[in-house]
Structure 1
Amino acid sequence: MTVVTVGLGERSYPVVIEPGLLARAGGHLAPLARGRRMVIVADGNVGPHLATLQAALSGAGVATEAVTTRAGEGAKSWASLERLCDRLLELGVERGDHIVALGGGVVGDLVGFAAAILKRSCGFVQVPTTLLAQVDSSVGGKTGINARAGKNLIGAFHQPALVLIDPDVLDTLPPRELRAGYAEVVKYGLIDDPDFFGWCEANGAALLAGDKAAQVHAIAHSVAAKARIVAADERETTGVRALLNLGHTFGHALEAEAGYDGSLLHGEAVAAGMALAFRYSVRRGLCPAEDAERVAAHLRVSDLPDGLRGVTASGERLVEHMRHDKKASGGVLPFLLARGIGRTFLDRSVDLADIARFLDEEPR
Structure 2
Amino acid sequence: MYPIRAILLLGWIAVLPGAVWAEPTEPTALPSAPVEARVVPREYRLDGIVEAVRGSTVSAQTSGQIQELLYDVDDVVEKNALIARIKDTEHRTRVAQAAADLKAATARLRQAQDEYDRIAGLYRTKNVSESAMEKARAELDSAKAELEAATARLQSAQEQLSYTEIRAPYSGIVTKRHVSVGETVGPGTPIMSGVSLDELRVTADVPQSIIAALRAAPAAERRAWVYLPDGQRIESNRLTIFPFADPGSNTFQVRIELPPSPQVSGHLFPGMYVKTGFLVGEKTELIVPKEAVVQRSEVTAVYVLGEGGYVHFRQIRLGRAMDDGYVVLAGLSAGEQVVLDPIAAGEHLKAQPPLRHVAGSKGHD
- Measured against the shorter chain, the TM-score band is under 0.3
TM-score computed with the length of structure 2 as normaliser:
0.21
- Give the structure, 1 or 2, with the largest relative contact order (CA under 8 Å, sep 6 or more): 2
- The two structures have a TM-score, normalised by structure 1, of 0.21
Q: Which structure shows the higher strand fraction?
A: 2
- Answer 1 or 2: which has greater helix percent: 1
* Structure with the greater alpha carbon radius of gyration: 2
